[in-house]
Structure 1
Amino acid sequence: MISIQEEDRLKKELVGLFGHMNKMRRELAVLQGDDAGSFVTMADTLDAIVENTETASNTILESMEAIEEIVGELRQSKDPAVLAVCGRISERSNQVFEACSFQDLTGQRITRVVNSLKFIEERITSMVRMWGKEELAKVVEEVKQEQEANPVDEDKTLLHGPQRDGVAHTQAEVDKLFSQDDIDKLFG
Structure 2
Amino acid sequence: MSLPHCENAGRGCFPARGECLKLCPRVPGRRLREVVRPRPDDVTARRRARMATDETEPADDDIDWGDVGMEMPQAAPIDRIRRAVAVLRHPAASEDPLASATQALEGVVEGTEAATEAILSQIEAIETALDAVSAELSPESQARAALDNAGMAITALYEACGFQDLTGQRIAKVRKVLQQVDAHLEELLEIVGHDQVAALPPPAEREGDARLLNGPVDDATRVSQSDIDSLFD
TM-score (norm 1): 0.57
* Residue identity in the other structure for 1:56: A
Once the two structures are TM-superposed, the CA of residue 116 in structure 1 deviates from its matched residue by 0.5
- Residue aligned with 1:94, SS: helix
1:70 counterpart (129, 135, 139)? 129
1:100 and 1:140 map into 2 onto residues whose CA distance is 48
1:86 equivalenced with 2:157 (yes/no): no
Matching residue's letter, 1:111 = A
1:54-133 paired onto structure 2 within 5 Å: 54-76=113-135, 77-78=137-138, 80-133=141-194
Residue of structure 1 equivalent to 2:111: 52
1:12 to 70, 77, 83: 83
Residue of structure 1 equivalent to 2:21: none
> Structure 1: where are the runs of 5+ without partners?
26-39, 145-164, 166-188
Q: Could you say which structure has the higher helix fraction?
A: 1
The structure whose RCO (Cα within 8 Å, separation 6+) is larger is 1
Query: In the TM superposition, what is the alpha-carbon distance from 1:16 to its structure 2 partner?
Result: 3.0
RMSD over aligned CA atoms reads 3.0
Q: Deviations over 1:143-170 (max 9, x none)?
A: 98xxxxxxxxxxxxxxxxxxxx9xxxxx
Counterpart secondary structure, 1:75:
helix
Asked if the contact 1:74/1:82 (under 8 Å) is kept, the reply is no
2:196 aligns with 135
Shift of residue 96 of structure 1?
A: 1.3
- Residue 199 of structure 2 aligns to a residue whose secondary structure is helix
- Residue deviations 1:34-56 (CA, integer Å, cap 9, x gap): xxxxxx55323312321221121
Question: 1:110 Cα deviation (Å)?
Answer: 0.1
* Structure 2: distance between partners of 1:126 and 1:140: 20
Structure 1, residues 36-95: CA drift from partner, whole Å, max 9, x if none? Answer: xxxx55323312321221121122112212211211111121162321221121122122
Question: How many pairs does the alignment contain?
Answer: 129
- 1:18 deviates by 3.4
Identity %: 25
Contact 1:128–1:136 (CA<8 Å) still a contact in 2?
yes
Query: Shift in Å at residue 118 of structure 1?
Result: 0.8
